[in-house]
Amino acid sequence: MDRRTVLKVLTASTLRAANQCGTSSDLAGYQFAFFTADEQALVERLMELIIPADDHSPGAKAARVPAFADLMISTSSDRVKAAWRSGLAAFAKNPEAALAQAAAEESAPKSELAHFFIELKRMTVDGYYTSTIGIHDEMGYIGNQHLTAAPACDHPEHKGS
Amino acid sequence: MFPFQARTVPGYGSEFKRRVREMQSGFLMLGGFCKVTANSGNRVTVDPNRKDAHGIPIPVVHFRYSEADREIYSSMRSSALAITERLKADVTQLPSVEPSGFASHENGTVRMGNDPKTSALNSFCQSHDVKNLFVTDGSTFPTSSEKNPTLTIMALSLRAADYIKERRKRGEL
């Protein structure tokens, strides 16, 4: 999908979300268009396993990454849709075990399971780290700031070296 | 900034999430740019038999990296790895062994030159064979660096336009 198409789709979905529930942020109230109810539940589970909630920030589910994925896939080609449908089916029986098995092959994927894991992880990463939760709560991004002095690095792992 | 390291850090789960977070303050991406050397074997021809939906013969692109291109790439790759070693960097993605392009500037194929035997256009982007035919885009380049070609294309186009104007006034076109 090229940038122009993505922008069109995102604009359309933002307007749709705005019409649905009066908010234009973070896909709140998004109506799923591609995933079945079972698939949606499975995607939520898999994505939360990939980027879980921890004591630092919420995970993929709270960041509405499944809705992001649904938006991207529902506006993609039939080939992409078919790949997600069959890819998810392969994870349905035992998601935890399938994920561990696929991730073991990540650096040199050969099986269909591993190839789909790479797609699934990429979608999770892209959706999560572009969400408010991912970019602000998790990564601590505060946007461009005016600084009157250059501050020292405050990361604990960089102290004393 | 979007944490691009998340696309290359292996694994998943809380350890993956923590590593992406901790890498954010020091994430570095090295990219190499170099030229592909001019080579007469790299060219675009017209297929004698196959036509597109509009009945126009389809173009056939011939392209191979030369030994020199591979050496340049290999040298860049080694330099990048030496830099990461010196930095004691935690490398999450190695550069591929084979050269590849993701920000390519395709130029050439209707190159300019003084000799009609080795070039299609003169230095004013004018065809040697067909005097009222001018080509004013990146295909005129006899060779090209890796740099963005647009300003050079604009400069050559302005030069060609002045040339056309003058020749036209003299009734030569």
Which residue of A107, A113, A139 is the best one to mutate when testing the B interface, meaning the one whose CB has the most B CBs within 10 A? Answer: A139
Q: Which residues of B touch A155 (CB under 8 A)?
A: 25
Q: Which residues of A touch B20 (CB under 8 A)?
A: 129
Closest chain B C-alpha to A61 CA, distance in angstroms:
13
Facing residue for B12 by CB, picked from A49, A141, A153: A49
* Separation between Cα atoms, residue B159 and residue B136, nearest integer Å: 10
* Separation between Cα atoms, residue B129 and residue B115, nearest integer Å: 12
| Model pLDDT, residue A10 | 61
Facing residue for A139 by CB, picked from B3, B12, B14: B3
* Separation between Cα atoms, residue A127 and residue B143, nearest integer Å: 42
Q: Decide: residue B132, CB within 10 A, 0-12 exposed, 13-18 middle, 19+ buried.
A: exposed
Count of domains observed in chain A: 1
Residue A98: what residue type? A
Facing residue for B10 by CB, picked from A107, A129, A135: A107
**Could B17 and A138 be called an inter-chain contact, meaning their C-beta atoms sit closer than 8 Å?**
yes
**Across the strands, what pairs with B61?**
B44
Residue A48: what residue type? E
| pTM of this structure | 0.69
Residuewise pLDDT in 10s, chain B (173 residues): 899 999 999 999 999 999 999 998 888 889 889 889 988 899 999 999 999 999 999 999 999 999 999 999 999 999 999 999 999 998 888 888 888 877 788 899 999 999 999 999 999 999 999 999 999 999 999 998 888 999 999 999 999 999 999 999 999 99
**Could A50 and B16 be called an inter-chain contact, meaning their C-beta atoms sit closer than 8 Å?**
yes
**Could A103 and B2 be called an inter-chain contact, meaning their C-beta atoms sit closer than 8 Å?**
no
Write the pLDDT tens digit of every residue in A43-79. 999 999 999 999 999 999 999 999 999 999 999 999 9
Q: Which residues of A touch B1 (CB under 8 A)?
A: 141
Q: Which residue of B has its CA nearest to A51?
A: B13
| Model pLDDT, residue A11 | 59
3-state secondary structure of A60: coil
DSSP H/E element including A21: helix A3-21
Number of H helices, E strands in chain A: 7, 0
| Model pLDDT, residue A4 | 63
Which structural domain, as residue segments, surrounds residue A141? 3-158
| Model pLDDT, residue A24 | 42
Q: What is the DSSP letter of A9?
A: H
Q: Which residues of B touch A121 (CB under 8 A)?
A: 12
**Could A138 and B21 be called an inter-chain contact, meaning their C-beta atoms sit closer than 8 Å?**
yes
Residue A55: what residue type? D
Write the pLDDT tens digit of every residue in A84-130. 999 999 999 999 999 999 999 999 999 999 999 999 999 999 999 99
Write the pLDDT tens digit of every residue in B58-104. 999 999 999 999 999 999 999 999 999 999 998 888 888 888 877 78
Which residue of A48, A49, A51 is the best one to mutate when testing the B interface, meaning the one whose CB has the most B CBs within 10 A? Answer: A51
Closest chain B C-alpha to A15 CA, distance in angstroms:
24
Contact B128, B122 (CB under 8 A): yes
| B97-107 burial: b if 16+ Cβ within 10 Å, else e | eebeeeeebeb
**Across the strands, what pairs with B51?**
B57
Closest chain B C-alpha to A26 CA, distance in angstroms:
16
> Which residues, at least 6 apart from A61, have a Cβ–Cβ distance to it below 8 Å?
A44, A47, A48, A53
Contact A64, B24 (CB under 8 A): no
Provide the pLDDT confidence category of residue A161 given band limits of 50, 70 and 90.
low
**Could B12 and A50 be called an inter-chain contact, meaning their C-beta atoms sit closer than 8 Å?**
yes
Which residue of B12, B88, B96 is the best one to mutate when testing the A interface, meaning the one whose CB has the most A CBs within 10 A? Answer: B12
For every residue of chain B, DSSP letters joined together read ---GGGGTS---SHHHHHHHHHHGGG--------PPPP-TTSEEEEEEEEE-TTSPEEEEEE----HHHHHHHHHHHHHHHHHHHHHT---SSPPPSS---SS-----SS-B-S-TTT-SB-TTSBBSS-TT-B--SGGG-SS--SS--HHHHHHHHHHHHHHHHHHHHTT--
Q: Which residues of A touch B6 (CB under 8 A)?
A: 125, 129
Q: Which residues of B touch A151 (CB under 8 A)?
A: none
**Could B17 and A141 be called an inter-chain contact, meaning their C-beta atoms sit closer than 8 Å?**
no
Q: In this structure, what are the phi and psi dihedrals at residue A53, rounded to the nearest 5 degrees?
A: -70, 140
